[in-house]
Amino acid sequence: MLGLRALRVGVAASDLLTLFLLERVRRVPLERSAMPSRLRRTLERLGPTFVKAGQALSLRQDIVPQAYLVELEKLQADVAPFPAEEARREIARAFDASVEELFATFEDLPMAAASIAQVHAATMADGRRVIVKVRRPGIKRRIDRDMRSLMRVLRLCEALSSRLARLQPASLAKEIWNNLRRETDFRLEARAMRQFATAFKDDPAIEAPAPIDALIAERVLVQERKQGHLLGDPCSPTEARKLADLLIGAYLRQIFVLGFFHGDPHPGNLFFTHRGAICFHDFGLVARLDQGIRRDLAMFLQAFAHQDAVWMLDSAIALGLLAPGDRRGPFVAGIEEILADYAALPIGQWSIADILLRVSRLGAPGSVRIPYGLLVLMRAAFLLESALRRLDPEMKLAETLASRGQSTIAAMLRDGARGGLERLRSEIGVAAQMLPAAVASTVSRDRQAGLKIRVPIELPEVAKLRTAIEHTGNRLAMAIVILGLFVGSSLLMQHSIGPRLFGVPVLALAGYLLGIWFALRLARAIGRSGQL
């Protein structure tokens, strides 16, 4: 079964590769390319796993061209609901009790269905209205099967193309696979909901549905049902501006203070209660930012506010958006161009998400591995900016972020400094305690060795010479292998050994083709080194 699935994935990949090569030969520009739409249709044809993988790939805005992003964002994971009887069986397996024992009422008709799960409305015995999220039967096994097949195809593609290998598609697919596994474990979602609720327990303007502690399992999650109006529902301008202010404050706190945030703030996941609070739903996609990333992000935003290209470059390198190196000039020039573009725009059209994306694209694709949390943040920032502009079209977003974020960032830096000072005080105390014994031990070793003085000598040229010798040895070995393939194939051809195809010995033909492929790779490697 796995072999058949891998074959189907391989055929789909071959179809895409053929179209890509044809368009490349014909020099078809990206804006007229059929590849983006063909990729989307292929992912939809391969099924829910690949649709989810495509949606996850859309996070990689740093390496995926805009034309592909537009198509990937069209992917819809909505599928036909699975039968209520299967949902009831999954619930019974998860909690070792029937639906009738667990709930006073249970609606068989699902409220919504997607590729991973579907949700049903229910009522607890004590009258609480809840939502029951049930994982699609067999979806975890299907994801593992499909992603394993995709990994095999991508590893083969990497072996055949060094250009593709530099982008590390198999590594990217592995990252997507791990994230899909987390998304299918509803215990992790319940944990994120609890953490969010705890963080905002003293803020009556921010809410999240609470999970029902006794009804949490890997495949089923029961949570309280909250209601309100959606982002697009009509409300007064005054109320909309108030909600926009609450939303931006909530995200500043999540990003810079808590270090974890709701990663999917699209209109369907934001409810506004009748008492004027914001309720976040669906915690399947959350991300975390460690203190170092939060600090570097704060520096990046401050550098942008001061229009300082060099400072922005240093912060972008620290964030992992760009690779460090000696050729800083082109990066500085690129950032200055971005700043000039924004200087010509009305401040209401400024976008922090777009700035992060444009800076990340200054580097070569695949030159850095941007942290996953930062990728989710870039996507969430686009959705958040869209939501804020729908609520308050007159909002000057960058200006608001600068004024509202200044106090939040300052508090984060103070807390970080306080923690750093505590650690420094502790480390100094430990060092003071250990220093005498360490010095005595060093003196004792030197005395026993006759007080010999060791002077470390570093010779960079020796390391370069060793590397050059290794490269030369590898090329000689490859040349010998190529020569052996050609000689062996010629002998097979001369004596007509093995099966024949159109009168030509198959083994000899295979040997010639493999030898030519190795020779081309060797010639390309030597050509890139510039040392023929």
The pLDDT value given to residue 326: 63
The pLDDT value given to residue 352: 84
pTM: 0.67
Query: pLDDT per residue over 381-428, tens digit each?
Result: 888 888 888 888 777 766 676 666 566 666 666 655 555 555 555 556
DSSP at 269: G
3-state secondary structure 38-65: HHHHHHHHHCHHHHHHHHHHCCCCCCCC
Predicted confidence (pLDDT) at residue 1 exceeds the cutoff of 80 = no
Query: pLDDT per residue over 179-235, tens digit each?
Result: 888 889 999 999 999 999 898 888 888 888 999 999 999 999 999 998 888 776 777
Q: Where are the domains of the chain?
A: 2-76+140-183, 231-422, 472-529
Q: How far is CA 504 from CA 104, 496, 499, 500, in A?
A: 76, 8, 8, 5
8 Å CB contact between 54 and 43: yes
Query: pLDDT per residue over 146-181, tens digit each?
Result: 888 888 888 887 777 776 677 677 887 888 888 888
- Give the lowest-confidence range in 13-17, 42-46, 498-502: 498-502
Q: Are strands 105-106 and 117-123 parallel, antiparallel or unpaired?
A: antiparallel
At 195, which amino acid appears?
A: Q
Positive or negative, the CA dihedral 242, 248, 253, 259 is: positive
Positive or negative, the CA dihedral 83, 84, 90, 96 is: negative
Residue 510: beta bridge partners? none
3-state secondary structure of 124: coil
What number of helices (H) and strands (E) belong to the chain? 19, 13
Query: pLDDT per residue over 287-346, tens digit each?
Result: 999 988 998 998 888 888 888 999 999 999 999 888 887 678 889 999 999 999 888 777
Counting beta carbons within 10 angstroms of the beta carbon of residue 51, is it exposed (0 to 12), middle (13 to 18) or buried (19 or more)? Answer: buried
3-state secondary structure of 211: strand
Query: pLDDT per residue over 114-149, tens digit each?
Result: 888 999 999 999 999 999 999 999 999 988 988 888
